[in-house]
Amino acid sequence: MVTLLVIDEELNTRLLYKDEFQDEGYEVAVAETTEEAIEKIHRSKPDIITLDIKMPGADGLEFLRKIKEKESTIPIVICSAYARYRNDIRVGSCDAFVVQSADLTELKAIIKLILRHKQSNFSLH
């Protein structure tokens, strides 16, 4: 079973993603903070991560850099309500950028695509 780690400070977003992706057959873990995310990444290396940029006490883009330094094989999809970050040079190491929405159709499609191409260094920006 594919494991997805959702890192987002908003409880409603975490619950929505968890419900939607569990319905799709994923095992879903959630983290509210970067500290909690680090623990979950080390404990049970997820197959893919969704990461918000705005995090309490941390910069999601700095956290992205740190994850990629230590766990470069885990695909990361940035999910942010702030579309302006799409062109930020710091998102270059993520595997895809999705503007956050209550409609998860795009996010689901991108995650499926990334997982299908995980072995081939495939990246969507």
pLDDT tens, residue by residue, 22-58? 999 999 999 999 999 999 999 989 999 999 988 877 7
Task: Encode 9-36: b = buried (16+ Cβ within 10 Å), e = exposed.
Answer: beeebbeebbeebeeeebebbbbbebee
User: Has residue 121 got a pLDDT over 70?
Assistant: no
Q: What is the pLDDT of residue 11?
A: 95
At residue 59 the predicted structure's pLDDT band, cuts being 50, 70 and 90, is confident
pLDDT tens-digit series, residues 72-86: 889 999 998 877 777
Between residues 10 and 61, the one the model is more confident about? 10
Residue 6: other Cβ atoms inside 10 A: 26
CATH code of 3-120, in short, is 3.40.50.2300
Averaged pLDDT score across all residues of the chain: 88
Taking the domains of the chain in order of start, what are their residue ranges? 3-120
Question: How many Cα atoms are found within 13 Å in the side-chain-facing hemisphere of 114?
Answer: 26
